[in-house]
Amino acid sequence: MERKSYPTDLTDMEWEILAPLIPPAKEGGHPPTTDMGEICNAIYFHLKTGCQWNMLPGDFPPRSTVYSYYRKWQGQGVWEKFNHTLGGQVRSKLGKSTQPIALAADSQSVNTDQKKGMCMVLTDVKR
């Protein structure tokens, strides 16, 4: 039975970028039987929709498996790597540097000792 596709599913190009960032399985154990792409799709579905883990659609891998990978990868910093890598790819496609070089914040968004309405601009001129 083929799984229904969801708007939160990774594209082939996104999966091609993210697949190498997934930690390898532990040596000496049983080889993984779960498709890591499907684990990622289930996690992205959960994150985007805000549904409870036990309410994941039944055509994803078992929710206990999905949640286990989510927690393990969270502790290993895998999500930060995913976001950093995909963010860099998006910036690159837009013709920008893969790393942002400027930040603008107003005093209503950031606690400062300056008067309201003043704007701070921080720049990092690495190019």
Buried b (16+ CB within 10 A) or exposed e, 108-119: eeeeeeeeeeee
Query: 91: which 2 tokens?
Result: 């910036």
Q: pLDDT for 15-44, tens place per residue?
A: 888 899 898 888 887 888 889 999 999 999
Query: 34: which 2 tokens?
Result: 């779960």
Amino acid 125: pLDDT: 47
Reported pTM: 0.68
Q: Which residue has the tokens 């910093």?
A: 77
- Mean pLDDT, the chain, whole residue set: 81
